[in-house]
Structure 1
Amino acid sequence: MNKSLTYENWTEERQVKALSHNSDYLDVLKWAYQEYGDEIIYSCSFGAEGIVLMDLIHKVNKGAKIIFLDTGLHFSETYELIAKVRKRYPSLNISLIKPQMNLQQQEKWYGDELWKTNPNLCCHMRKVVPLREALSEKKAWISGLRKEQSPARSHIQFINKDEKFKKIKICPLIHWTWEDVMTYLHRNELPYNPLHDKGYPSIGCTACTLPAAVNEDFRSGRWAGFSKTECGLHQN
């Protein structure tokens, strides 16, 4: 019996053989759940891409496990959207993953509003560490990354060796454009965060998210004033 593709047995040859050269997003998802079964989770930000991917996952695996990294600092619109999605897809196993340290404890040890003085540390404690713990018993995870989102994401493939978490990272939507994403949402009448219609293509925590400063740069509204465009989840 062939072993599933893992971080430990990764080779370029195995990656190439995993999918045919003309595979699309649904092929990728079907392969992922056939390959990993219960040993894969989807980490969803509940952005526009996230809702599209959740709808596609529901078509492939109605009992899929989905997690949301709940920093405790998200917009009220995001939490309201999660409630709507849970109602629309009751069979999906959606969990909110919280950091071990709550905001009051963080303030005690690191000072008030750490995100203003050391956003990298704040993201690490409230997002990176919780995801690492959630992935500890898994072989792979799914992400909604798209090549168009930023230069740092232009190199991603459908199947990636994730050096950050020592897992396999699956990215089914890499070739989708923002227009593709919004068209899918509207055509399928899916709920999505209303902040997207107010100039927020990328939505994170309230303190670190502004409307996009540049139309062509989807992440230009994140961590304004810092030379930072990633929370650390997708940086090896």
Structure 2
Amino acid sequence: MVVGERDAAGDYDRVGKFAAELRGETPTRIIEWALERYAPRLAVVSNFGPSTVTVIHHLAELGKTDVPVLHIDTGFEFPETEEVGARLTQRYGIQIQDIRPELTVTQQAEKYGDELYKSDSDYCCYMRKVLPLEKVLSEYDAWVTGIRKSQGSTRRAAQVVEWDVRHDMIKVNPLAEWDSDDVWAFIRENDIPYNTLHDNGYPSIGCWPCTRSVAEGGDERSGRWSGLNKAECGIHLTHFATPQPTEKGR
């Protein structure tokens, strides 16, 4: 395939073959494959969680710190999340591209009320995460994530390479077969910068209004949208109906 030339239909037909060939391979080899096939139209999407800082370290070991790292800055980031992004940049020299929603937090509050994340968390996630990422990913042919099968029922079917129906592109999950212990052993062995909230009972970190600490031994994503029947913001869901909002005052 010519660099920069998208063969979406062809890759859709071959995704099963790709996944079979890479099944059982190391994250390094899976990332190498993605680089060989899709760079420079390949991006990593990271919330600076344990899995994606691990992916970033693998890229650095391969000498590929020029691969764009897309970070969704919702405006509700913990200070610790912003701080780990700075430490990753200092350590690896990566190129972080902050993706921001169309509306600021203040503009959103004026239009939809002060706590949309409580009154309609699906639409809040859609505006602040799903839609901004969707627009930027249209510039690429494939994206790399840190999702793992062990993260819960919504991710149990993840493959190392799969077709992303929502974004009409290849999605690469090099850590799909790893569990949390694998990730943390790798982080400690390589002294990788990570979010210090993980040391204080936060196994999974998103926006501050929707993230809670978890009792020791709890499911690693149970602190996200606690009390709601929800486990995903939408960017990793195959089928995601666009929420319909209710504007303030209506």
Class of the TM-score when normalised by the shorter of the 2 chains: over 0.9
- Residue type at the aligned position of 1:187: E
Structure-to-structure mapping, 1:85-104, within 5 angstroms: 85-90=88-93, 92-104=94-106
Partners of 2:139 and 2:107 lie apart in 1 by 27
Structure-to-structure mapping, 1:46-195, within 5 angstroms: 46-60=48-62, 61-90=64-93, 92-195=94-197
Match of 2:246 in 1: none
Partners of 2:99 and 2:6 lie apart in 1 by 26
Partners of 1:11 and 1:103 lie apart in 2 by 37
SS at match of 1:9: helix
- Residue type at the aligned position of 1:224: S
- Residue type at the aligned position of 2:102: Q
Aligned residues: 235
Match of 2:241 in 1: none
- Residue type at the aligned position of 1:68: H
- Shift in Å at residue 20 of structure 1? 4.3
- Shift in Å at residue 135 of structure 1? 0.7
Relative to structure 1, the CA distance from residue 21 to residue 97 in structure 2 (aligned partners, 3 Å threshold; closer, same or farther) is: closer
Relative to structure 1, the CA distance from residue 103 to residue 20 in structure 2 (aligned partners, 3 Å threshold; closer, same or farther) is: closer
Relative to structure 1, the CA distance from residue 150 to residue 214 in structure 2 (aligned partners, 3 Å threshold; closer, same or farther) is: farther
Relative to structure 1, the CA distance from residue 31 to residue 96 in structure 2 (aligned partners, 3 Å threshold; closer, same or farther) is: same
Relative to structure 1, the CA distance from residue 214 to residue 104 in structure 2 (aligned partners, 3 Å threshold; closer, same or farther) is: same
Partners of 2:18 and 2:230 lie apart in 1 by 35
TM-score by length of 1: 0.93
Structure-to-structure mapping, 1:28-39, within 5 angstroms: 28-39=30-41
For each residue in 1:173-223, what CA deviation from the matched residue of structure 2 results, as whole angstroms up to 9, or x when unmatched? 011111111111111111111111111111000000001257341111000
Partners of 1:80 and 1:128 lie apart in 2 by 23
Partners of 1:47 and 1:161 lie apart in 2 by 23
User: Unaligned 5+ residue runs, structure 2?
Assistant: 239-250
SS at match of 1:233: coil
The more displaced of 121-130 and 216-225 is 216-225
Partners of 1:103 and 1:2 lie apart in 2 by 41
